[in-house]
Each structure stands twice: as C-alpha cells, then as structure tokens.
C-alpha cells in the first residue's frame, strides 16, 4: 500500500461521522470519539516535528487542523473528491487541512502511520509559507518524503529496478502521480525523494531552506532554482540520473524476490550433489552386502 498524497481543492466536505476535538496548543485534531489515543499519538507526532519545520520556515500562528476518517466513506466525504485506493491521507490546499484514514483501514503499523502523519504535516507546514502550487509535485513530495522517511530501502530498490529496466519516470511526468497505479506511484515518490536527496548531497543541508526563502521572494520555482543552484532543470535532471545510476544500480539485488531466485539454483545444485552422494553410499552399501552374502553362501557349501 502506498499512502502519501497531496491534492489541491477548494473546500472540505465534513459530512461524516461525528467528530470530537482535541486541542494541543496550536494543533487541533478532529477525531472519532473512540479514537482518543490515536488523536493523542497524532498530536505528539506533529509536536515532535514542529521544531524542524520552524527551523526551515519559521514559526506560525495558523492553527494546524487535522481530521481522522473512521471509514472509507468518511474519507471520501472529507476529501470531497475521488482519490486512488492506495491513498491513506491527503493535504487539502488552499484550505490547509490534513485528512487521515484510520490506520486500521490501510492496515498500517504504528510506525507507518507516524510517517504518514509526518509527511502530510510537512506538506501543510510548507503551504503556510510557500504555496504548494508554486513548487512542482516532485519537490513537494520529495521534501516530505525526505523528512518523514529518509532511509526507505524499499523505495531505493524500486529505483534500482527501474534503472535496470530503463523505466525511470521523467521529472516532467512526476506530477501525474494521481493517475498512476500503485507500483508506478510508489516509483514516482521514490524518485522524488531521491531528487531531493541528491540536492542535499551535492549542495548541503541548507539548500532546501535557501530555495524556499528565494521562492518566497520570486514566487517562481524555476527562477529560484536557477538563482540558487546556477543550473537549469534539464541539466539538473541529467546530473540526478547519473547520481542514481552510480548509487542505486545494483541495489535491486537486495530485493527478496531476486535473492530467492538466486538461491533456488544453488539449492537445486546442492540437493543434486547431496542426493548423488547418498545414492553412491547406498550403492556401495548394497555392493558390500552382496559380497558379504556371497561369502556367507560359500562358507555354507558342503565340502
């Protein structure tokens, strides 16, 4: 299940199950009555990420509004639009509201759910300072992925497989993620995360803050990109592809499917030699028994 999503909508349709409000400083969690512990977990997760976001963007007095959907129907009503089945959360812009599915709906572990909350909170906090429709989808999603899931080995294996099969999605097509099936959407998010990772590896940890700061002035992503990096998007994409090819090309070998298919031939060979050895021992045993029987018969013959 892939679970992270951002969407631009005009409004929020809250004709869903009755919700209770949990206020934690500037964080407001609207949750089903029986999900108080889940609401507290969400509030803690957001509070823990808040200092990092404030360091990048500065503080805000705008309330953080988060809604928890108990059912699939509630989620659709709150989002107000049809979303892919693989989505588990949505950040609604410009209303600046997060809607989360109850993790039971998506069979998410607590660790996975924490990453979902963090990812969407990054989107929301960014939108309070830099509108999400100014920055491209790959930058928004890559930034949120980098903060919430910085060491996602499965995403890197997906990248590696795409490299080997020459199936990398061009940067210009990463904005079409909502139209992709689960596996291709997962690759789109993995690519976005690796692009932001590449930015930070090459230009340093402060590059993201510098870019957001310049975008606030120019209101033009491509212009700020060239101002800060001194390179256009086309040349940057070429350099990024070289980076992922060098770093991730052989990582697909860690995929359990490949490991299994590598092991099976070895197991067949081992079994073949073991069976051959056992058959040889059995034949030798038969020969020994046959010789012994002949000797016994010779001894019993009358003289």
pLDDT digits (tens, 9 = 90+) for 56-104: 999 999 999 999 999 998 998 888 777 888 889 999 987 889 999 999 9
What would the pLDDT profile of 197-226 be if each residue is shown by its tens digit? Answer: 999 999 998 999 999 999 999 999 999 999
* Higher-pLDDT residue of 184, 297: 184
Question: What pLDDT, on the 0 to 100 scale, is given for residue 136?
Answer: 95
Lowest mean pLDDT among 106-120, 131-145, 242-256: 242-256
Name the least confident of 15-19, 50-54, 181-185, 251-255.
251-255
The answer to whether the peptide bond before residue 94 is cis (omega within 30 degrees of 0) is yes
Residue 301 has pLDDT above 60, yes or no: no
Give the C-alpha separation, 122 to 111, whole Å: 17
- 1-130 CATH: 3.40.30.160
What's the rounded mean pLDDT across residues 155-170? 87
The span from the CA of 289 to the CA of 227, in Å, is 89
Q: What is the pTM of this model?
A: 0.78
Average pLDDT over all residues of the chain = 83
Statement: residue 230 has pLDDT above 70: yes
The dihedral through the CA atoms of 138, 144, 146, 150 has a sign that is: negative
More confident residue, 58 or 157: 58
């Amino acid at each position: 299940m892939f679970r992270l999503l951002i969407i631009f909508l005009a409004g929020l349709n809250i004709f869903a199950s009755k919700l209770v409000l949990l206020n934690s400083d500037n964080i407001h969690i609207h949750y089903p009555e029986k999900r108080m512990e889940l609401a507290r977990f969400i509030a803690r997760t957001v509070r823990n990420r808040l200092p990092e976001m404030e360091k990048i963007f500065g503080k805000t007095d705008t309330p953080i509004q988060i809604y928890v959907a108990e059912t699939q129907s509630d989620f659709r009503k709150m989002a107000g639009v049809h979303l892919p089945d693989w989505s588990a959360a949505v950040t609604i812009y410009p209303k600046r509201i997060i809607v989360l599915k109850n993790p039971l709906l998506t069979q998410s572990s607590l660790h996975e759910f924490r990453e979902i909350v963090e990812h969407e909170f990054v989107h929301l906090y960014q939108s309070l300072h830099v509108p999400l429709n100014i920055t491209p989808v790959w930058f928004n999603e890559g930034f949120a992925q980098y903060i919430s899931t910085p060491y996602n080995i499965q995403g890197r294996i997906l990248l590696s497989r795409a490299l080997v099969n020459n199936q990398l999605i061009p940067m210009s097509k990463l904005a079409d993620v909502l139209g992709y099936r689960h596996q291709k959407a997962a690759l789109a998010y993995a690519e976005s995360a690796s692009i932001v990772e590449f930015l930070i590896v090459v230009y340093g940890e402060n590059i993201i803050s510098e870019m957001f700061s310049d975008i606030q002035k120019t209101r033009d992503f491509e212009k700020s990109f060239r101002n800060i990096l001194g390179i256009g998007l086309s040349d940057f994409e070429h350099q990024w592809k070289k980076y992922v090819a060098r770093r991730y090309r052989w990582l697909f070998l860690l995929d359990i499917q490949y490991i299994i298919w590598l092991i099976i031939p070895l197991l067949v060979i081992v079994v073949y030699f073991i069976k051959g050895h056992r058959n040889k021992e059995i034949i030798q045993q038969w020969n020994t028994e046959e010789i012994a029987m002949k000797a016994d018969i010779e001894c019993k013959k009358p003289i």
